[in-house]
Amino acid sequence: MDNLQVVDGITKSEPDYGEIYYQMFAKNLRELLQRVKSTGTFHQDSCKKTIFSGVRFIRYTKSDVSSYEYLKDKLQLIGYLQELMKKVTPREFINMFPITKSYDGDKWEEKDYFFTMNRAKEIGMDTLIGENILEFLYDYDNWDITCFAVSSMTIISRIRRIEGEKSLAEEFFEGKGLDTYTLQSGQKGKQKLINNRTGETQEVQKPRPRYLKPVQ
């Protein structure tokens, strides 16, 4: 028993999914463009592979960055993928990105499997999605697609802020007559909220931990 000793386990590093899917996307895109160039026709399987790997790449890369060029490039890529999505049918799209198996959307007033399927049937299961793509994406219940749609809106908002315009959220809430706020942090960790309409500031009061008690 005296010879027992604790051995540290091997820590496995998290795969770099962003890099993995970037390599897949770049390979699939090259194949798609080469097929179009050599045959003069659009290859559907290559298109679907490019869409799938592109959506996964978008999911695993950051959108909350301040680099203007990075955001513009990523938004351009999202736009290109949306153009490719117009060339597939809802049935093909569902095979790539299976609808989440949740069935109680009516109860919680949110999208679910039935809501997404109804939207797909409205377009036509074997009809190209075409110009319905934006509405189709926002109505689609799948985590990859949700991340893709949220990334698009996040990037657009950040670009607008960099260009001196209001973000999408600010524009929406102001249209409803509601104020929005920006949280700023100082060098000493102090935070304050700034009313984006009036410019008024309010210091953020952090709650005191329960284990801290005032000295009597």
**Size of the chain, expressed as the number of residues it contains:** 216
Which residues does 105 contact at the CB level (< 8 Å), separation at least 6?
A: 111, 112, 113, 114, 115, 141
Give 168's pLDDT tier (boundaries 50, 70, 90). confident
Q: What is the mean pLDDT of residues 95-102?
A: 97
Give 31's pLDDT tier (boundaries 50, 70, 90). very high
Q: What is the mean pLDDT of residues 35-56?
A: 95
DSSP H or E segment with residue 56: helix 44-59
Q: What is the mean pLDDT of residues 120-128?
A: 98
pLDDT of residue 208: 60
Residue type, 168: L
pLDDT of residue 8: 60
Q: Which residues pair with 202 in a beta bridge?
A: 193
* CB 125 within 8 Å of CB 91: yes
Q: What is the mean pLDDT of residues 15-30?
A: 96
* CB 50 within 8 Å of CB 84: yes
Tokens of 79: 């736009």
Give 185's pLDDT tier (boundaries 50, 70, 90). confident
Give 105's pLDDT tier (boundaries 50, 70, 90). confident
pLDDT tens for 59-91 read 999 887 889 999 999 999 999 999 999 999 999
Whole-number Cα distances in Å, 48 to 16, 43, 91, 114: 23, 9, 12, 24
pLDDT at 190 over 80: no
